[in-house]
Amino acid sequence: MAKNIPTLLQTKKVQKKRKPSFERQYANVMTQFKGQWRRPRGMHSKMRMSLRGKKTKPTVGFQSPVLVRGLESDGRMPLLVQNMKGLQTANVTTHALYLAHALGGRKRVALLQKAKELGITFRNIDDIDATLKALQENVANRKKEKTAAKKTSTKEEKKSESKSAEKSKPTVTEHTPGEKQ
């Protein structure tokens, strides 16, 4: 079976070229429908009835071969790396690794450093060294900003405490019996 995969990948590539981009009904009239697919449900819809000359609907015949379904063009299965365990358990020969987008700065730096040690590359990162450098600078800048903000906030708190102490002193006002309070 493994010998058959390169030919199936080639077949998938040819099929992808021939496959139409399935558009929603009236996508040529209503521009907000472009790039979407919804099944036509109208009772008199020519597209639903698959009449000749109308847009095609996605059907089973447009699927790629089962053995290569979900694989990338080089035959690797895409894998999203979100933590150290995912990085260490990934098989580089069978997986195409992608670094998750929703990672924090520290975890991203740690994952990139570990990948650099292991000699692993990610498909969505061109240069690991440049990315690491930019991330480390960003983390350092944010640390500086945070410490600066802390210093200014403590000064402001002291000022506000002294002002509130002055305001909290009770003031005595005298009223004559005929005045309104």
Residue 32, in any domain of the structure: no
Residue 81, burial from CB neighbour count under 10 angstroms (0-12, 13-18, 19+): buried
In this predicted structure, what is the pLDDT of residue 1?
Answer: 54
The residues, any chain, with a CB within 8 Å of residue 36's CB and separated by 6 or more, are 23, 24, 27
Query: E-assigned strands of the chain?
Result: 77-81, 95-99
Residue 144, in any domain of the structure: yes
**Mean pLDDT score of the chain:** 88
Residue 177, in any domain of the structure: no
Pairing verdict, β 77-81 and 95-99: parallel
Count of domains observed in the chain: 1
Give the DSSP letter string of 130-167: HHHHHHHHHHHHHHHHHHHHHHHHHHHHHHHHHHHHHH
- The partner residues of 78 in beta bridges, in order of sequence, read 96
Residue 23, in any domain of the structure: no
Domain encompassing residue 102 = 70-149
Q: Say how far apart CA 112 and CA 129 lie, in whole Å.
A: 9
Query: Residue 56 has what DSSP assignment?
Result: P
- The partner residues of 80 in beta bridges, in order of sequence, read 98
Residue 116, in any domain of the structure: yes
- pTM, two decimals, is 0.68
Contact between residue 89 and residue 83 where contact means Cβ atoms under 8 Å apart:
no
Residue with tokens 């960003």: 138
Share of the chain above pLDDT 90, in %: 70
pLDDT per position as a tens digit, 52-80: 999 999 999 999 999 999 999 999 999 99
The count of C-alpha atoms lying within 13 angstroms of the C-alpha of 5, restricted to the half-sphere facing its C-beta, is: 15
Residue 133, in any domain of the structure: yes
Residue 61, in any domain of the structure: no
